[in-house]
Chains A and B, each alone.
Chain A
Amino acid sequence: MIRVQQEDFDVGAEIARLRADRTDIGAIVTFLGTVRDQGGAVAEMTLEHYSGMTEDELSRIEEEAHARWPLQASLIVHRYGSLRPGDNIVLVATASEHRDAAFDAAKFLMDYLKTRAPFWKREDGPGGPRWIEADARDETSMTRWDKSSAAE
């Protein structure tokens, strides 16, 4: 399941909902991304997104993860709007029978989300507003999931 929302989320409640009434799950991996202040340089972070495409893209990414790993459930929650240091940004959770699939799929989801989901971060602080530049390492991280190298 995917959700794009302005409001905060509760990690415990999200996990509880993901596994509600299920006894077949053996492993749940969660990733939580949060706003960091970078030593006082960031007072506010604004996340803009392309409403409509964001949901489409996250759904495609999630489908791809389910096609690659035996996942029993998954969740992507991503916030947009005005955030402050310490605030939650993104939650990815994956559930499977064994841990490897859950760990790998969670990493895959984050790597793909970083390079495909149409979100843009703008930081504001003492130095004025600044759009975050994409990190070339994110692109490199994603190539590890190319079909040719991830076949095993």
Chain B
Amino acid sequence: MRLLYFAWVKEKAGVAAEEIQPPEGVATVAELIVWLKARGPEFANAFARAEVIRAAIDRSHVRHDASIAGAREIAFFPPVTGG
């Protein structure tokens, strides 16, 4: 699946987009965040305050308990500040 990062999540993680294949057992957005945090200090820092990070699956907002099964594109970003 494709992961996208925006705003300060992108800056801290040091990457804007990547293709990943999470291991078996990573079933939800929350579990994916835990897995991402373990990849290195940049990701641990980007997701340090996991509770404030928002997520979207295939371009729709989702909660952290959402299933990632079948997701093609998952995005992580801070609370939005447009308008």
Q: Say whether B59 contacts A119, CB under 8 Å.
A: no
Knowing A116-B61, A118-B56 touch, does A50 contact B81 (C-beta < 8 A)?
Answer: no
Measured as residues with beta carbon below 8 angstroms from the partner, the interface class of chain A is 20 to 34
Residues of B within 8 A of A121 (CB): 81-82
B50 within 8 A of A: no
B79 within 8 A of A: yes
Q: Say whether B56 contacts A53, CB under 8 Å.
A: yes
Bound together, the chains give a CA A83 to CA B38 distance in angstroms of 37
Q: Say whether A78 contacts B82, CB under 8 Å.
A: yes
B80 within 8 A of A: yes
Bound together, the chains give a CA A47 to CA B7 distance in angstroms of 9
- Closest Cβ of chain A to B74, distance in Å, is 11
Quick one: CB contact mask for B29-65 with A, threshold 8 Å, 1 for yes?
Answer: 0000000000000000000000000001001110000
Q: Say whether B6 contacts A89, CB under 8 Å.
A: no
Q: Say whether B78 contacts A122, CB under 8 Å.
A: no
Bound together, the chains give a CA A89 to CA B59 distance in angstroms of 23
B80's partner among A90, A110, A122, A134 (CB-CB below 8 A) is A134
A119's partner among B56, B75, B81 (CB-CB below 8 A) is B81
Residues of B within 8 A of A93 (CB): none
- Closest Cβ of chain A to B33, distance in Å, is 18
Q: Say whether A133 contacts B81, CB under 8 Å.
A: yes
A84 within 8 A of B: no
CB pairs A–B below 8 angstroms (19 shown): A53-B56, A53-B59, A53-B75, A114-B83, A115-B80, A116-B61, A116-B80, A118-B6, A119-B81, A119-B83, A120-B8, A120-B78, A120-B82, A121-B82, A122-B7, A131-B7, A133-B81, A134-B79, A138-B83
Top 3 closest A-B pairs, CB basis? A119-B82, A134-B79, A120-B7
